Structure 1
Amino acid sequence: MTAGDQTTRVGALEVVSGLSAYRAAEEAMRRRTRESMKMGENDLSALRFLLKAQQDGRVVTPGMLAEHLRMKSASVTVMLDRLTRSGHLTRSPHPTDRRSLAVVATPGSDDEVRHTLGEMHRRMMAVASSLGPHEAEVVRSFFVRLSEVANREAPRRD
């Protein structure tokens, strides 16, 4: 291995190490968020999905939520019951399909999520905004390529 190869390897290890440190910090932030909102991971993911759908003007059904979260419908029903009791969402008849329900996050949920996650999002945007155009493109491209690698199925071992 040449000195250049060794330098490249050390740089790559430092990048992957930095990514691991970020992932650990993000997981800790998610845990703190779930604890402060007294919710599990799926509950918070469901709420975020509902809020985004409402922002986009889409009606969400329990089935859509089950598909998004990759959960069984019975488990989604239990989760929806819990989130309804806690005041985070309501269920009402679907506006165009009489056989289905519409699931809607309450205004208070939107406020709670914005309050809990808003400041962290602003700080992350400040860091991202501090990058120059070339740096931003390098980072964006790096994350796109990492996402492609992570989404690729591993070869099967037979």
Structure 2
Amino acid sequence: MRRRTREAMSMAEDEMLALRFLLRRADRTARPAELSNYLGIPAAATNDLVDKLEQDGRVERVAGFAISRSASIRATDTADAEVRNTLNGMHLRMYAAAMKLTPTQHRHVAGFLASMTEAIDSVDAR
């Protein structure tokens, strides 16, 4: 879904990850260093990434609150709406596909997913 979302929005992987990171925060804002740490990329690459997102209207730079504080990066309302619209369409299509299943098919799918979850959860932590 993440790949399809970023393709639908014409975004690179790091751009989508950065936007997701910002949109998950209560104020949709982060310092550049936080974004660099999250993405595991150097500050210069983060600056280039933010420049691209800003150019596309998906983020904005917000002045720091103190002299020693650098500008923060905030996801725009436009970016939030764009992601929600893209995901909403996918969710509606997924729901429609699930609703086509018969009750017996639902039980089979649920059983399969439960078995797969158990198989994944039982992986030895070592």
Return the TM-score normalized by structure 1.
0.58
Are 1:37 and 2:9 an aligned pair?
Answer: yes
CA distance in 1, matches of 2:57, 2:72: 16
CA distance in 1, matches of 2:73, 2:60: 6
Report % sequence identity. Answer: 34
Task: Report the alpha carbon displacement of residue 119 of structure 1 after superposing the two structures with TM.
Answer: 1.9
| Alignment partner, residue 79 of structure 2 | 109
Change (3 A) 1:33 1:57: closer
| Alignment partner, residue 51 of structure 2 | 81
Higher helix share: 1
Q: Secondary structure of the residue that 2:30 maps to in structure 1? A: coil
After superposing on structure 2, the runs of 4+ consecutive aligned residues of structure 1 that deviate more than 6 Å are none
Root-mean-square deviation (CA, aligned residues, Å) is: 3.4
| Alignment partner, residue 8 of structure 1 | none
Structure with bigger gyration radius: 1
Q: Is the 8 A contact 1:95 1:102 kept in 2?
A: no
Identify unmatched segments of 5+ residues in structure 2.
none
Alignment: residue pair count:
118
Are 1:66 and 2:36 an aligned pair?
Answer: yes
Return the TM-score normalized by structure 2.
0.70
Task: Report the alpha carbon displacement of residue 73 of structure 1 after superposing the two structures with TM.
Answer: 1.4
Change (3 A) 1:78 1:122: same
